[in-house]
Amino acid sequence: MSSTELVVWQNNALPAIPKKVSKIEDLVTYGVQLQVKDKKQIVSAFNNEAYEMVSTYTWTKAITSLKNQLSKMGVSFIAEMLDRPDINEHTDIQQAISEFEAIRLAEEFGVISGTAAFRLKKAMETVTHFNQPELDEDEENEMTQDEARTIVRTCIQGILGYNKIEAAIDFKNFRVELEERTLNEENPYILKLVQSPYFFHRTVIRILLSLVKTSNGAQLENSLANSNLIMPMLWGNLQHPERWQIGRTYSELFTDGQTIAASGLKKVLLKVKGFDFVPEDLRSSSFIKVANEILAAHEGMNNFYNEPKPVSTLYNMGSVIPTPAFPICITAILSVKLGNSYGVSNAAQGIVNEMLKNISSDRWIYFFKECLQYNDRLLYKLMDYRPLDRWLSLFPESLIDKALLEVQEKDLINLLNYTKKNDRDRLMRLAGQMYRKIGYSNK
């Protein structure tokens, strides 16, 4: 990879299925990852009007393929990218990461476009909804032919229509830049990095943390040297979730006795006066683990049934969420509260409402200032009318007015004002603009 190139990896060979192709027999011919028997089963099930079956079958093929390719990047790296301290080298990625997380990673790495990711998320929600066992057996709750065709098309267009994703190879080349070379301020890559979209800042921070935790010898020295150059340059623009991740990594390295790595990150924290972001203990990791279990349930199959258990676990852990864990915990709580375009888990709403009552106004202001601007999960929900309507009923006007006195970023000010005025259309458009500003759709 060229040192001046800031695109992590980009698939320029995505298949373009012509708009006029609509017959299922023609659509499956573009699925190069599908075997002959797969294509026959899809066509047969579709023609027999088994639309839920064919959609689930095709979706499972697609998402399994995507996760397999992502796993080649290394489990520890994926754990850092998702800020999942519960994932280690013995973890089965197919089981550990949700479908939403797999799409999110693929989008961040440029494996799929923003449009493809948007369509895949919609397909995921549709398949998940129609696989709910408690769904009443009546005509209204049956998947239509058009819905099934759209899912098949989306899976082929986004994943199954091209040969195995080679992001693993290309992305490792990118990581080599940080592991095997000590970069300087005049490096063209460094000069462009500061002006890059936020997702790239987040990606670089997480790559460096992964390398610092896993490297030895010269590779560790290079990783620490690049961390001491890059992290202070990006610190001023980093949101608190990324700052807490750096502090938590230092704490873990120190506790584990990895003195060289811990000493290197200590220099970073001293440069930026960042020790306020070092947790006093690792209690936050337990909260982070449960929050990720909530998100996995929320973004998985039969989510309305599976959400209450981990939500109850988080509630029973105590009303005071450690600050390092607050960003992911509030994301999990709000995800369950807002639900998706098909509804919410009614059984989880009572517990979620109790947790929301326990969040102080200061914490809410912290959420608006530090946790929302680059929160792809919540911004994505605000691009859908039904979750958006639930958002509009969440916050009292007095809280929004108080937050407006503290928030300075223009997009956040507009978001709060549109929320206060119940301006659904402008809020939805703004959420889409903020989502794209993260950098996903620039690929």
- Spatial distance between the Cα atoms of 196 and 202, rounded to a whole number of angstroms: 10
Query: What pLDDT is recorded for position 330?
Result: 98
Taking the model in full, what pTM does it have? 0.74
SS3 170: helix
Q: Look at residue 78 in the predicted model and tell me its pLDDT.
A: 82
**pLDDT for res 34:** 93
Backbone CA torsion sign across 427, 432, 435, 437: negative
| Residues near 266 by beta carbon (within 8 Å), at least 6 away in sequence | 250
Residues 134-160: tens digit of each pLDDT:
766 777 778 999 999 999 999 999 999
The pLDDT assigned to 174 comes to: 66
Q: At what angle do helices 51-71 and 145-155 cross, to 10 degrees?
A: 20
User: Max CA-CA distance within the chain?
Assistant: 66
Q: What is the pLDDT of residue 1?
A: 38
C-alpha torsion angle, residues 255, 258, 260, 261 (rounded to 10): -80
Tokens of 421: 């005025």
The tens digit of pLDDT for each residue in 344-369 reads: 999 999 999 999 999 999 999 999 99
Owner of token pair 């009923």: 393
pLDDT of residue 175: 74
Residue type at 28?
Answer: V
Do 305 and 133 touch, CB atoms closer than 8 A?
A: yes
- Whether residue 81 contacts residue 105, with contact meaning beta carbons closer than 8 Å, is answered with yes
Ranges of the chain whose pLDDT falls below 70:
1-16, 135-136, 164-174, 439-443
